[in-house]
Structure 1
Amino acid sequence: MADNGVLVCSTLMGETVEQMLKQMQLAKETGADCVELRLDCLNGFDAAGDLEKLLKGRVLPAIITCRPKSEGGNYEGDEQKRLNTLSLAYDLGADFIDVELQAMSPFVSQRSKKNSQNCKIIVSSYVNGSTPSSEDLGHLVAKMQSTGADILKVVTTATNITDVSHIFKLIPHCQVPIIACVMGDRGLISQLLGPKFGGYLIYGSIGSGKDLIPGQPKLADLINIYKIGRLTRDTKVFGVIANPVGHSKGPILHNQAFRETGFNGVYVPLLVDDLSDFLKVYSAPDFAGFSVGIPHKEAAVKCCDEVQPLAKSIGAVNTIVRRKSDGKLVGYNTDCEGAISAIEDGLRGESGYKSSESSSPLAGKLFVLVGAGGAGRALAFGAKQRGARVVITNRNFERAKALANAVGGEAIPMEALERFCPETGMVLANTSAVGMQPNVDSTPLPKEAMEPYSLVFDAVYTPRETRLLREAKEAGKIVVSGLEMFIRQAIGQYELFTGNLAPTELMRKIVIRDF
C-alpha cells in the first residue's frame, strides 16, 4: 500500500487461468497492490476448479468479479449460476468480492457467514455512456451505502473532462471507502488525481492487450511517472491542456523535476475540448497552473484574467498560472524565448542553454515559418524582434496573411513553399503538427527543396527525430529539434509554476535520458 493509503489495482482479463496467474505476477513485479480477476473473460470457466487455482496461486490480494454484459462485462449465462460463483469465491477466501448494485440483495441472502471477517464486499454501479450530475451521484451513493457493503465502486463515462469534477466532489463526502472511475480518454484524471481527493483504489493497466481501456493509465506510469502514492490533499495540480494530448512528454519531465526538488505537485495530461469551460469548472486553488498546447494557445489569451505583455502582443499563451493572492489566472508565453534562443544557438553552433550577444544571428535572415497557430505566432514575433525578415505559410492562407500583417512580414500559399527560393542561408521553422506521431512519414518540405536553407527547426518532438529533421541532416543542414524548444520553454514554466529557480541541468538530463 502507498504512503497515502491508496491501493493500485490491475484488472486481469486473461482467457485462461494460466494467463491470469502470469499477468498477476507481472502486475506484482510492476508495483500493483492488488488485482481484479475478471472471471467473465475466462474461456470455458469451471467455477470450482478454476477459482481454487486462482486463489491458491495468487501472489497479490484479489478482487473477484464476474461482470455481466449489462454492466460492461462478458458474462451472458444464468444469473443464479453467476451469484453462486461469487458466493463460492467468498467461501474460498477471496480478499474482495465485487457485486453489482442490482445483484447485492440476492447475493447477501445466499452468502454464507464463515468468511465474513476476511472478505470485503464491494458494491458497484456502472453508468454507461455518461456521468450523472453531482446531485444524482449523491443519490446513487446513498442507495449503495444502504446495502451495508464495505466499499463502494462507481464507474461512469466522460463525454467531457469537466464530467470528472462531479466525481472529485463526491469522493471526500462519502461515508465509506469509495472507488470512483471515469472511463474514456477524457476521464483519465479520475485515476491520476483520485488519491488526492481520497479515493480508496485506482486502476492501472499492465498493458497486456484486452486491459488497455480508454481512460485507464498504465500501471508502470502510475508507479514511475506519477508516484501516485505520494499524492496528498495538499498536492498542487498542474497539467498540459491540449487536444490531442497523449503525445505530450510534459508529465515525464515536470513530475520528476517536482520530485527531485521536493515540490509537492503533480503534472497530468488534460484532454480539453473547451478551454473556457475547463477553467471555470476547475477553479479551485489546488488547480494551480497549466501548460497550454494545440489548439488552445490563442483562446487562452481571452480566458486569462491578465496576460503578460509579450504573450498579449504575440496573441498566444502557453502557460497559465493561478495567482495565490487572488486566484486570478495570469497568462504567459515561454515558447517564444525557448524556440528563438534554441535557433540562435543552432546558428552559432552552440548546444547549451545560453547566449546573449548584443546582436542576434537571426538579424537580417529570411525566416520561413510553417504554421500560424499559437507556437507559430510566438516564433513569428520572436524572429521579428531579433531582426529577421519573416515569411509565413499555413494551410489556411488567410491565417498566414493575418499573422504576416501583424508582424510586418510576408505570406505565401502552402503550395508555393517548395518553390520558394529568393536567396540562400534562410531559416525554416515548422510549428505545424505535420510529422507528429502517428503521421511520422509526413513532412512540410521534401528533402529536394531544402537547398536554400542553412538551418531547419521543427517544433514537433514526437518522434524525437522527425522526417523533416532527418532529411535536413542528410542534406547537410543545421538542425534544431523541438526538444530544445520543449526543454527551454519548460524551464520557464517550472519557474512560473513553483516560484523557484528551475533545476536546469536536471531537466535537460531528464529529457536527454527519458525522451
Structure 2
Amino acid sequence: MDAFLQEIAEASATGVDIIELRLDFIKDFEPMKDLERLMAACSMPYIVTYRPTWEGGNYEGPEPERLATLKLAALKGAPYVDVEFKASALFFAGAGEVPLSTKVILSSHNFQETPPAAELHARAAAMREAGADIVKIATMANDISDAAVVLSLLQQKTGPTIALAMGERGQITRLLAAKYGGHLTFAALSDARASAPGQPTIAQLQQLYGFAQQGPGTQLFGIMGKPIHHSKSPLIHNTAFRHLGFDGVFVPLLVDDLPRFMDAFREHDFQGFSVTIPHKEAAHKAASSRDPVADQIGACNTLIRQADGSGYKGYNTDWIAAISAIERVLAAGSSDAAAATSSSSSSSIEGQPSPLQGKTFLVVGAGGAGRALAFGAASRGATVLIANRNKARAEALAAAVPGGATVVDWEQLQAGAVSADVLANSTSVGMVPNVEEAPVATAAVGNFKVVFDAVYTPRETRLLRDAAAAGCLLADGVAMFVGQAVEQLKLFTGTSQPPVQLMEDVVLGKVKVGSS
C-alpha cells in the first residue's frame, strides 16, 4: 500500500489527466480498510480497476467480493470503475446499485489475437447495450494491420471508446488515440512499470509524441521497418516538427509485410513514411511514382502521399547523405569520426571533382541501402566492388550499377584478401542488440583507408572500433542518418530551412526528449 500511494503521488506530478488504480497489484489488499485511503490520495479523476486472472489481471479471489469492491468504490464516489464485459450481467444485476455519477467502463481483452472488424464492432455494440458508459476493447496485434482494425472502432464514433491493440505491432493505437478521438490511452510511469505489452511511458507519450497536441487535423507520418524499436526517426522528426510549429506526429511502425500494411492503412491519412531495413525495395515497388534517382537505384527510403490521391511517390535520400559523409572524411583526411557527423547533403567541396573519383569503393550488402551506396559511389566516379553473403544478389546489384561493378568473394573478403580505398557497410550487422557482431573480420579491416558503417545504434559499432584500431579513417552512421532525415523533413513539411543542428544534437543525445 505504501508503494502504491507513492506511485499515485508520482503519477499526479507528471501532468496526466486520469490515474488508474489497479487494486489487483496491491499485496494483501483489504477493501474496507484500504479503498478509501487510495481514493483520498487522488487529486484528479481516477479509474478503479480490480482485474481478475481470467482477464489478464492478478486477482484470484471470489468473484462476489471483487464485484462488491467495485460497487463500493462507486458508492464512495469513484469517477470511473472498470468492469469486465464478461462480468457485466452480475455487476448490473442489482438495479440502481451503481450511482449515475460513476461512469462504468466495460472492458474486453483478447490476449491472443485481433478478431475481424465486424466482430469487434458487434462486441462494442453489445457492451453499450449491456450498460457501458465507456467501451474498452483491447486485443493482441499479431500484425500491424490489426492496429487498423482496432482503430476502426474509434473511427465509427458511436460513443466514448477506448480501443487498444497490444504489443509492439499495435503500439500506434496507443500513441495516436488522441488523433483518432479515443476517450483515453494508457501510459506507464517507466518502461519497467508498464502494465500491458506495448505501453509507452508518460514521458514518451507527452513529450515525444505530443499526445495533448494531437487532433483530427494532425498529419501522420511514420517509419516502417523490422526491427524498429531501436529507431531514432520518431525522436528526430517529432523534435523537428515541434521546432517548426508543424502539426504532425511521427510514429514507429513494426511492419512484417509492407504491401499488407499499405493496404490496411489505405484509408488512413498517413502523409509520408520513412522506410528502413528490410522494406526499401518493397517500398520502391509499392510507390505509384518515383523520382529518377530512386527509380535508378530500385529502392526507396521515403514515400510521400500525392495530393491527387494517386498513391505515394518514392524517393531515396540515403545515397547523398552517405556519400557526402564519406567524401568529407576523404577530403579532411581526419581519423576523428566526429568530422563525419555534419548532416550537409552535398559534397564538401562544391564545384570540384569528388574525392571519390577514381577511388575503389567496396559495398558490403546488396539490399536497399547497399544499392543506394553503390549507385551513389558510381555517380561520383568511383570503381565499385560488391560483397554479399548471397552471391546471386551481389551479382544482380553489380549488373545494375551504371558502368558495372565487380563482385568480391565473401570468403576472400573475410580472409583479408580484398582491399579498397573505402569500405561501406550497408547491412544491419552490429546493430543493437547484436553489438559485438561485425560484417567484416577484424583482421581484414586494415585493408581499407576509410571505413563507413550505416548502423547508427550504437554509434560506435564493432566494425568502427576495429577500423579505429587499424588506423582507418572513420565515417559513422549518424552522418547518413541525419542527412537523409533532413531531406525527408523537407519532403514531409515543405520547409526550406530544416533545423539541421537540432536534429543532429537530438541523435547525439545532446538534447533529451521523451526520456523516462
| TM-score, normalising length: structure 1 | 0.92
Residue segments in structure 2 that go unaligned for 5+ positions in a row: 333-338
Change over 3 Å in CA distance of 1:467–1:28 after alignment to 2: farther
Deviates more, 1:79-88 or 1:43-52: 43-52
Match for residue 335 of structure 2? none
Match for residue 365 of structure 2? 371
> 1: distance between equivalents of 2:431 and 2:206?
27
How far apart are 1:422 and its partner, in Å?
Answer: 5.3
Match of 2:385, SS state, is strand
Q: Is the 8 A contact 1:24 1:59 kept in 2?
A: no
Match of 2:84 among 86, 100, 125: 100
Match of 1:384 among 378, 382, 387: 378
> 2: distance between equivalents of 1:456 and 1:28?
50
Match for residue 359 of structure 1? 353
Match of 1:214 among 174, 197, 205: 197
Give the AA of the match of 2:219: K
Match of 1:345 among 323, 328, 342: 328
Match of 2:400, SS state, is helix
> 1: distance between equivalents of 2:98 and 2:371?
69
Match of 2:155 among 172, 175, 179: 172
> 2: distance between equivalents of 1:366 and 1:332?
27
Match of 2:397 among 403, 413, 418: 403
Match of 1:491 among 474, 486, 502: 486
Indicate whether 1:427 and 2:422 are aligned: yes
> 2: distance between equivalents of 1:29 and 1:464?
34
Q: Is the 8 A contact 1:87 1:112 kept in 2?
A: no
Match of 1:205, SS state, is coil
Match for residue 283 of structure 2? 300
Deviations 1:241-266 (A, max 9, x none): 00111111000110111111111111
Indicate whether 1:247 and 2:230 are aligned: yes
> 2: distance between equivalents of 1:134 and 1:398?
42
How far apart are 1:328 and its partner, in Å?
Answer: 2.0
Task: Report sequence identity in percent.
Answer: 45
Give the AA of the match of 2:28: G
How far apart are 1:111 and its partner, in Å?
Answer: 7.5
Match for residue 6 of structure 1? none
Change over 3 Å in CA distance of 1:96–1:285 after alignment to 2: closer
Indicate whether 1:188 and 2:182 are aligned: no
Match for residue 478 of structure 1? 473
Deviations 1:164-210 (A, max 9, x none): 11222221323321111111111001011111110010111222635
Deviates more, 1:213-222 or 1:309-318: 213-222
Match of 1:216, SS state, is coil
How far apart are 1:51 and its partner, in Å?
Answer: 1.6
Change over 3 Å in CA distance of 1:114–1:148 after alignment to 2: closer
Deviates more, 1:375-384 or 1:413-422: 413-422
> 2: distance between equivalents of 1:393 and 1:28?
55
Match for residue 73 of structure 1? 57
Give the AA of the match of 2:279: H
Match for residue 140 of structure 1? 123
Give the AA of the match of 1:381: F
> 2: distance between equivalents of 1:150 and 1:293?
42
> 2: distance between equivalents of 1:72 and 1:191?
18
Match for residue 3 of structure 1? none
Match of 2:185, SS state, is strand
> 2: distance between equivalents of 1:267 and 1:208?
20
Q: Is the 8 A contact 1:91 1:112 kept in 2?
A: no
How far apart are 1:23 and its partner, in Å?
Answer: 2.2
Match for residue 8 of structure 1? none
Match of 1:248, SS state, is coil
Change over 3 Å in CA distance of 1:213–1:475 after alignment to 2: farther
How far apart are 1:458 and its partner, in Å?
Answer: 0.6
Indicate whether 1:161 and 2:144 are aligned: yes
How far apart are 1:114 and its partner, in Å?
Answer: 7.9
Match for residue 460 of structure 2? 465
Q: Is the 8 A contact 1:31 1:220 kept in 2?
A: no
Match for residue 7 of structure 1? none
Give the AA of the match of 1:312: D
Give the AA of the match of 1:41: F
Deviates more, 1:431-440 or 1:141-150: 141-150
> 2: distance between equivalents of 1:481 and 1:104?
57
> 2: distance between equivalents of 1:368 and 1:36?
56
Deviations 1:409-437 (A, max 9, x none): 122233222334555x6211111111100
Match of 1:438, SS state, is coil
Change over 3 Å in CA distance of 1:168–1:327 after alignment to 2: farther
Deviations 1:380-405 (A, max 9, x none): 11111111111111222221222122
Indicate whether 1:511 and 2:494 are aligned: no
Indicate whether 1:64 and 2:65 are aligned: no
Q: Is the 8 A contact 1:288 1:322 kept in 2?
A: yes
Match of 2:294 among 311, 315, 320: 311
How far apart are 1:92 and its partner, in Å?
Answer: 2.6
Match for residue 336 of structure 2? none
Deviates more, 1:70-79 or 1:178-187: 70-79
How far apart are 1:43 and its partner, in Å?
Answer: 2.3
Match for residue 209 of structure 2? 226
Give the AA of the match of 2:7: Q
Give the AA of the match of 1:492: E
Deviations 1:316-365 (A, max 9, x none): 11101111123421111000111101111111126542522431111111
Change over 3 Å in CA distance of 1:114–1:430 after alignment to 2: closer
Q: Is the 8 A contact 1:243 1:294 kept in 2?
A: yes
Deviates more, 1:374-383 or 1:204-213: 204-213
Change over 3 Å in CA distance of 1:357–1:21 after alignment to 2: farther
> 2: distance between equivalents of 1:175 and 1:278?
26
Give the AA of the match of 1:238: F
Match of 1:436, SS state, is coil
Indicate whether 1:122 and 2:118 are aligned: no
Match for residue 35 of structure 1? 19
Match for residue 204 of structure 1? 187
Match for residue 45 of structure 1? 29
Change over 3 Å in CA distance of 1:205–1:414 after alignment to 2: farther
How far apart are 1:95 and its partner, in Å?
Answer: 2.5
> 2: distance between equivalents of 1:78 and 1:174?
36
Q: Is the 8 A contact 1:35 1:62 kept in 2?
A: yes
> 2: distance between equivalents of 1:514 and 1:460?
21
Give the AA of the match of 2:269: D
Q: Is the 8 A contact 2:194 2:201 kept in 1?
A: no
